[in-house]
Structure 1
Amino acid sequence: MYKFNKLVMLITLKHRKLNDGRLSLYVEFYKGSSVDENGKRIHIRDFEFLKLYLHNNPKTPAEKKENKEIQKLGENILAIRKAEYVQGKFKIRNTAKDKKRFLDYFSEITEEKINSVNNYGNWTSTLVHLKKVIPQNFLFEEIDENFIKKVKNYIDNEAKTKSDLPLSLNSKYSYFNKFKACLRNAFDEGYLSINYATRVKSFEQSESQREYLTYQELQRLAKASCKYEVLKKAFIFSCLTGLRWSDINALIWSEVREEGEISRVNFRQEKTDGVEYLYISKQAREILGDRKSGQDRVFKGLKYGVSFNNEIVRWCNRAEVNKHITFHSARHTNAVLLLENGADIYTVSKRLGHREIRTTAIYAKIVDQKMKEASELIPQLDLKI
């Protein structure tokens, strides 16, 4: 029978001499000792060999410099391992953070998204639903797998829309993923010792209906009157470039570049926070008008709100476009028109800033369906063969 001595784990950086004379760096995790039934003390250690090697007795300046850099790298890894130990890798919990209320934490994460209109809206909607299933004073120390299952079951079977209808599959997917993102963030910041986000499967995302304009419908829309000139310009610019509303709204003149007769926009994509370089057509550049000072908004006066959204509907009615068109439909329109006119799916995917080609493939299905429909457009012949 073993008797264990309890102590805080010691994590240290050490080296071992190899047969070829080099020194191999490794991290030692010393977990204490035990005494077996014969009275022999046994020390309990784990090791992580870093595959980093020092010169033994370095002679040249180059070897000394290399040793210094490798030693520093080893010390950085050691610091990471110590941080992981504190954050919970070895089941050590921060008792102060245990007492944090989960909904308070989720609210704080939500407010960090306030500058991203669409994303912020999704997070606030998720918070509304979570408040219906999670008690206000529920603490991080109470979180376990049953809690995660309870939240998922609520979203799947009990949560309702404002119209008292069951949530769509895409809404379930979106809300539960926000919940999981919060759990991941909490684990990274030391509020949880277990990353529960990796232990539960998300809802499947359904293939949503993507409304778009045909070339003829877009032409009619371009000729029809719109109450807000800036809205008309921004919408058609989106149809020609595929830019999202958030990126168009944030676009400033310093991001519009001229390269001879070619124009492009260099911008930081709001949704992914990635830097993008997008070439635009001459007609798209003409829509922007005369250049202003660098920090001026290109579409000054463009707003996100009910009045602008309602005007899109009225504008479509004037153009005799009988579809449920939103500003985001302009982005769908760009994708379909590019594919219809010969652009390959990879190029379209890159222009739209999609991370995965399968996202763009949805538009290819639309074009393929239109091709099938076109096969039946020629009237039937009275054949005698």
Structure 2
Amino acid sequence: MKQIKAKEPIRLRAKKLSNGNQSLYLDFYKDGKREYEFLKLYVVQERSKEDKDKNVQTLKLANAIKAKKIVELQNNEHGFKTNSVKSKANFITYIDSFVEGLPKDTKGYNGYICTMQGLKYHLTKYKGENFTFKDVDRKFLLGFSEYLKTAKVSTRAVKEGGRTLAQCTQWNYFNKFSLLLSKAKREGVIANNPISELETGDRPQRAEPRRTYLILDEVKKLASTNFRRDDIKRAFLFSCLCGLRISDVRSLKWCNIQQDSKENVRLELIQQKTGGLLYLPISPEAMKQLPEKSDNSELIFGRLPDNSYIDKLLKIWAKDAGITKNLTFHVARHTFATLGLTYGAELYTVSKLLGHSDIKITQIYADVINEKRRDAVNAIPSITE
């Protein structure tokens, strides 16, 4: 049988230095790109027997490194995991180091950090704190996907029987998990990404966004209905009229409200979710929902209770007002967007008022309004027999 001479995937090369020595490096292709890895090994000019012996040993070491790299490269190409120390790294620790290294000027930094903390919480609930990259395989991923379907939201106030994760939240956590695994593969921590072994139906799917909102008559009903917590009532109606998220309403202080010489009022604040600076004009109607002013450093709505308790109270308020929709604070934000578009505001303007980084995010509200308009047109009775 004729011997087949295989072309080496990695070549050992030398770069001549200004002092006459040569720096050894590896020359290879990875994922279609040419790469160089300098070994910090040097062949010196041979002026003595010691120099010659030293060079022999240096070349032996360089070729040993090359041989090891060839095995690792071939393992990667064929999907085999190497027994590297990196693959035994703790995954939860990897998340912590990723979060710590994330630049604070990253777009949507606060929201990204919040999602990563949620992912860490649920991975720990699913498998504990001591699993490694080596443990993350197809079976692990399938199990985590199933876990997310019944997982409770990571809030201290939610006890047994509390709310489960929304479908979009399940998708978001799994997506961030996938991104971390992709990053680990790029860094050589794992040889292949087990996510690639999943079928489309094996992982949480992104839900079509549904937007529950109130029409103007429903907002008026709530305003005229008694509510046991005046602070929550004011905060909710204020959000309906300016579109602030609950996290921003919580942190809102009197010093965030600015007034110019023409008595126009606006809010200036750093958004809790995105970290972006928001300049938001406030209407006289929204100003009516604010309590009596106190010190500039004080929270406008005081210390609001946690979200789960607020949601319970909002359901009672909605029932008393004769409203069947499931009220949450995000409904108030949706209400502001749809009211603005309904009464003639441009999509771009509403996008800026909501603090959206991309107008595509706001487009869903325009679709809601267009559907509402179609329903109104289709409701016109027939004028022919």
**TM over 0.5, yes or no?**
yes
* C-alpha distance 181-272 of structure 1, shift in aligned 2 (>3 A): farther
Q: Which residue in 2 is equivalent to 1:324? A: 326
Cα distance, 1:204 vs structure 2: 4.8
Cα distance, 1:331 vs structure 2: 0.3
Q: 2:91 is matched by which residue type in structure 1?
A: F
SS in 1 for 2:329: coil
- Kindly provide the CA deviation profile for residues 297-320 of structure 1, in whole angstroms up to 9, marking residues without a partner as x: 111132224432211111111111
Asked whether 1:137 is paired with 2:103, we answer no
| Counterparts of residues 220-231 of structure 1 (less than 5 Å) | 220-231=221-232
Does the Cα contact within 8 Å between 1:155 and 1:172 map onto a contact in 2? Answer: no
Q: Which residue in 1 is equivalent to 2:360? A: 358
> Looking at both structures, which has the greater relative contact order when contacts are Cα pairs under 8 Å and sequence separation is at least 6?
2
* C-alpha distance 133-283 of structure 1, shift in aligned 2 (>3 A): closer
Q: Which residue in 2 is equivalent to 1:333? A: 335
* C-alpha distance 311-137 of structure 1, shift in aligned 2 (>3 A): closer
Q: 2:355 is matched by which residue type in structure 1?
A: G
Deviates more, 1:295-304 or 1:196-205: 196-205
TM-score by length of 2: 0.63
2:269 corresponds, among 267, 270, 275, to: 267
Asked whether 1:315 is paired with 2:313, we answer no
Q: Which residue in 2 is equivalent to 1:367? A: 369
Q: What residue ranges of structure 2 are gaps of 5+ in the alignment?
A: 1-6, 15-22, 27-35, 44-55, 57-75, 77-83, 102-108, 152-160
Q: 1:312 is matched by which residue type in structure 2?
A: L
* C-alpha distance 136-253 of structure 1, shift in aligned 2 (>3 A): closer
Deviates more, 1:130-139 or 1:361-370: 130-139
Does the Cα contact within 8 Å between 2:258 and 2:265 map onto a contact in 1? Answer: yes
Cα distance, 1:246 vs structure 2: 0.1
Q: Which residue in 2 is equivalent to 1:22? A: none
CA–CA separation in structure 2 for the residues paired with 1:253 and 1:294: 5
- Kindly provide the CA deviation profile for residues 272-315 of structure 1, in whole angstroms up to 9, marking residues without a partner as x: 11111111111112322443222111111322244322111111
Q: What residue ranges of structure 1 are gaps of 5+ in the alignment?
A: 11-27, 35-40, 42-90
Q: Which residue in 2 is equivalent to 1:68? A: none
Cα distance, 1:172 vs structure 2: 3.2
SS in 1 for 2:150: coil
TM-score by length of 1: 0.63
Percent of aligned pairs with the same amino acid? 30
Q: Aligned Cα RMSD in Å? A: 4.7
Does the Cα contact within 8 Å between 2:13 and 2:24 map onto a contact in 1? Answer: no
1:126 corresponds, among 119, 122, 127, to: 119
| Counterparts of residues 142-291 of structure 1 (less than 5 Å) | 142=134, 147=136, 149-157=138-146, 159-162=148-151, 169-180=167-178, 182=180, 192=189, 204-259=205-260, 260-291=262-293
Does the Cα contact within 8 Å between 2:184 and 2:190 map onto a contact in 1? Answer: no
Does the Cα contact within 8 Å between 1:268 and 1:276 map onto a contact in 2? Answer: yes
